[in-house]
Amino acid sequence: MPRALTEQEKCRQCQRLLEKGKAVVFSQGIRKTSVDDVARAAGIAKGSFYQHFETKEKFMYELAWHIYRQLFEQAERMLFNGDDIRVNLRKLLTNLFHMPEMIFFIHNNQDITELCTSMPSREQQSDKKIEEAMFERLLVAAGIDIEKVKPGVVHNYIHAIYLTMGSDLMIKNEVPETCDQMMNSLTSYICGGL
């Protein structure tokens, strides 16, 4: 019988599943990726996958959050690089929507929305609070007055831009300028709290 993994080994195995699984999902898409594909890419047995995630959907949901946390870490690095906060904020917004992770979210919006709404409502509510807290932490760290600039409004702005970029209802050749104007508006809103 194989020896049991330590907690540290379990954590590393879970991280490997998320990182290797991310590459598989990015190349094959959410619907076409199987548990076998993810386990094989991570170099573990399929049974070991289920020690970390009950279902493929739970894995995909956690992967989406894993990517989202990485985006926030990148945002923090970009925002606090020593330059003027206003300049950094605009660069951050522009770069954010050109990152491979965000492009993946945009192109797979319908699958991600279905995935998120398939989770229990208590989990969805908890995750919305976590997400708003992440925005609040970022704003406070940047010296933004969160009485003037509400983290929930910033959250909604980001999602509105994201949804605009991926919407089939938009006039495609006008999407870049529309998003640019939305980012300018968001930048003005946030800078009003400095």
Query: How large is the average pLDDT for residues 83-107?
Result: 84
* One-character DSSP codes across 13-49: HHHHHHHHHHHHHHHH-TTT--HHHHHHHHT--HHHH
1-53 CATH choice from 3.40.50.800, 3.30.1330.10, 1.20.120.420, 1.10.10.60: 1.10.10.60
Contact 106, 166 (CB under 8 A): yes
CA 42 to mean position of chain CA atoms: 21
Domains of the chain, residue spans: 1-53, 55-191
State the burial class of residue 172 (Cβ atoms within 10 Å of its Cβ: 0-12, 13-18, 19+). Answer: exposed
42 versus 81: the higher-pLDDT residue is 42
Query: How large is the average pLDDT for residues 112-131?
Result: 83
With 0.75 as the threshold, say if the pTM is over it.
yes
The model's pLDDT over 2-24, given as tens digits with 9 standing for 90+, comes to: 677 788 988 999 999 999 999 99
Query: How large is the average pLDDT for residues 106-115?
Result: 84
Closest by CA position to 61, among listed 24, 139, 136, 114: 114
In the chain, pLDDT over 70 holds for what percent of residues? 98
Q: What is the pLDDT of residue 1?
A: 56
User: Which residues does 148 contact at the CB level (< 8 Å), separation at least 6?
Assistant: 192, 193
Helix or strand run (H / E) with residue 177: helix 175-191
Judge: domain 55-191, CATH 2.60.40: no
The two structure tokens encoding residue 136: 């609040």
Q: How far apart (Å, rounded) are the C-alpha atoms in residues 182 and 45?
A: 46
Q: What is the pLDDT of residue 41?
A: 97
